[in-house]
Amino acid sequence: MRRLVIERIDPVLGRCRYVADVDDRRVAQPTLVARRGERFDGVIENALPQPTTVHFHGLTLAESQDGAGFDPIAPGGRRRVRFEVRNRSGLYWFHPHPHGLTGEQVYAGLAGLLVLVDEDDATLDAALALAPRNRLALALADVRVAQGLLRPYAPRPAECVHGWLGNRAMANGALDPLYRVAPGWVRLQLLNACNARGLLLAFREGDTQVPFHLVGTDGGLLGAPRELERVFLHPAERVDVVINASGRARLDAVSLEFDPRQRAGTAVPQPSHHARKRYAPLANEAVCEGPEARQADVVPPDGAELPLFSLQVEERRSAKAGGLPQRLSVLADAGEWSGQPVRRMRLDFSEQQGFLIDHTPYRADEIAFSVARDAREVWEIKNSPISTAHPMHLHGFGFRVLRRQGTFGPARALATESAGRLATDLGVKDTVTLWPNETVWLGVDFAMPEDPAFRGRQRYMFHCHNLEHEDGMMMRNFAVL
Ligand SMILES: [Cu+2]
């Protein structure tokens, strides 16, 4: 059994971390590695002064294992969580999901990576002749640094509506991350762990942009690699990319400048921190209530260029670079979904309440809709023209992106085919980003494992993974019956 402790380090800054006992070693900010078919067996201890949960993002889990916030762990409490790892190899992650407190806790450092491996994963590494240190799994997050110090989470009202942004990037909790790699292929499994910032990932050698290959998305490897120059990565999305470092001295990963399509103007609805009001010790802490001009921080807006991390290529005489296979997994195209029932949802903006799904603020005790066990559904999700980019996350089930319509120019330019899909839409996804005025069609298979934990009604969530939108009620519960 593993022990996963959620700690708060500094009472002023509130920097949090996961501490795991892995093979009798205490590891801070752990990256857990699991093989498909293995069982996870852990005790989660909450050493925070707030309620929390641990959501295993992207995994096929029953309600009791998903950590979605229906049943938080109280301060000082503990919970045993056991499940079988059923998903394909890829980068998954775990983070808190207590309703109303998620943004604060994730920003405080609570994001752990879960790398799943299987035969396809090992075959790819072998073909690339990957040096062990040339494989990195990184949680990329923007943090607010002023006078050399990390600033605590203190969003102003406008930031509670539009998102809390940082001015510097961290990878796995470290500022100015630089990794030494050997010549040859480098494989990077990258998570956008930012609260709200979208990234347009690219690699540079000096001033020259260096192409890379997309080999996987949220839910594992693509069928075949795609060569790209840049790729959008919004909060909670993952990409698995390989880049050839042979003949290069240094590669810098950056988020390129882009138009973030903020179409909701500067409207500032009255934020209301429902979660804090439910917990007396937190009710008087000011969040979302400070004066607009309280902080003098200069934070680059969403879409501004931001350096992410660097790869220093160490010189070696004989670098044996393998070849990139043209077949990565048996993943086929999304398949035939015509004739399946269509469920329609709309992402809205309300001048009073901020961003919502179907004009309805989240209610913990509400079930917005029910889905039949083992059903296959098409979800048609439309984002309002008065909106912003929303990375929408579905708990419990991976899905396929079938089609996009109304995508704005610079994103549309990255489409790979007539259905408007982007390269990242070609894999299994659990989080999909919708630009303002865009409609996406998803194919969702609600097949449930034959496992006693999945018996009976299972509740899941569908929500925006801009964490301020999520905490601001842009979330719905649904049930699988
Ligand atoms: Cu959103």
pLDDT beyond 70 at 14: no
CA 30 to centroid of ligand 1, rounded, Å: 28
Q: How confident is the model at residue 281 (pLDDT cuts 50, 70, 90)?
A: low
Residue 396 burial (10 A CB sphere; 0-12, 13-18, 19+): buried
**CA–CA distance, 238 with 243 (Å, rounded to integer):** 16
- pLDDT for the residue 322: 86
- pLDDT for the residue 81: 92
pLDDT beyond 80 at 428: yes
CA 62 to centroid of ligand 1, rounded, Å: 25
**pLDDT over 90, % of the chain:** 74
- pLDDT for the residue 12: 54
Weakest mean pLDDT among 13-17, 70-74, 77-81, 261-265: 13-17
CA 172 to centroid of ligand 1, rounded, Å: 24
pLDDT beyond 80 at 27: no
Q: How confident is the model at residue 293 (pLDDT cuts 50, 70, 90)?
A: very low
Weakest mean pLDDT among 217-221, 280-284, 343-347: 280-284
Count CB atoms within 10 A of the CB of residue 46: 23
Section 232-251 average pLDDT: 97
Which residues 6+ apart lie within 8 Å of 280 measured at CB?
none
How many helices (H) and strands (E) are present in the chain, helices listed first? 7, 34
Q: What DSSP string runs through 21-54?
A: EETTEEEES-EEEEETT-EEEEEEEE-SSS-B--
User: Average pLDDT over the chain, rounded to whole?
Assistant: 90
The residue type at 296? A
CA 23 to centroid of ligand 1, rounded, Å: 39
Residue 34: name the closest of 101, 105, 115, 151 by CA: 115
Backbone angles phi, psi at 289, to 5 degrees: -125, -5
Token match 């067996």: residue? 41
**CA–CA distance, 374 with 381 (Å, rounded to integer):** 21
Segment 175-187, tens digit of pLDDT: 999 999 999 999 9
**CA–CA distance, 256 with 261 (Å, rounded to integer):** 15
CA 193 to centroid of ligand 1, rounded, Å: 14
Token pair of 460 as six digits:
């899941």
Section 121-130 average pLDDT: 97
CA 229 to centroid of ligand 1, rounded, Å: 26
Token pair of 165 as six digits:
């942004």
CA 464 to centroid of ligand 1, rounded, Å: 4
**CA–CA distance, 272 with 103 (Å, rounded to integer):** 14
CA 346 to centroid of ligand 1, rounded, Å: 12
Q: What is the model's pTM?
A: 0.94
Residue 329: name the closest of 123, 83, 128 by CA: 123
Contact in structure between 368 and 478 (CB atoms under 8 Å): yes
Q: Compare 21 and 46 and report the one with higher pLDDT.
A: 46
CA 67 to centroid of ligand 1, rounded, Å: 20
- Residue 363: strand, helix, or coil: coil
Pairing of strands 31-35, 112-117: parallel
Contact in structure between 333 and 420 (CB atoms under 8 Å): no
CA 472 to centroid of ligand 1, rounded, Å: 9
CA 409 to centroid of ligand 1, rounded, Å: 20
CA 43 to centroid of ligand 1, rounded, Å: 32
Contact in structure between 383 and 355 (CB atoms under 8 Å): no
Section 219-233 average pLDDT: 97
CA 391 to centroid of ligand 1, rounded, Å: 6
CA 466 to centroid of ligand 1, rounded, Å: 5
CA 385 to centroid of ligand 1, rounded, Å: 13
CA 437 to centroid of ligand 1, rounded, Å: 13
Count CB atoms within 10 A of the CB of residue 418: 7
Token match 């921190």: residue? 273
CA 354 to centroid of ligand 1, rounded, Å: 10
CA 427 to centroid of ligand 1, rounded, Å: 22
CA 212 to centroid of ligand 1, rounded, Å: 29
CA 186 to centroid of ligand 1, rounded, Å: 32
**CA–CA distance, 282 with 276 (Å, rounded to integer):** 5
CA 465 to centroid of ligand 1, rounded, Å: 6
Q: How confident is the model at residue 318 (pLDDT cuts 50, 70, 90)?
A: low
Residue 102: name the closest of 465, 366, 460 by CA: 465
Residue 399: name the closest of 428, 370, 440 by CA: 428
CA 134 to centroid of ligand 1, rounded, Å: 34
Pairing of strands 90-95, 55-57: antiparallel
DSSP 88: P
Contact in structure between 219 and 166 (CB atoms under 8 Å): no
CA 48 to centroid of ligand 1, rounded, Å: 26
Length of the chain (residues): 481
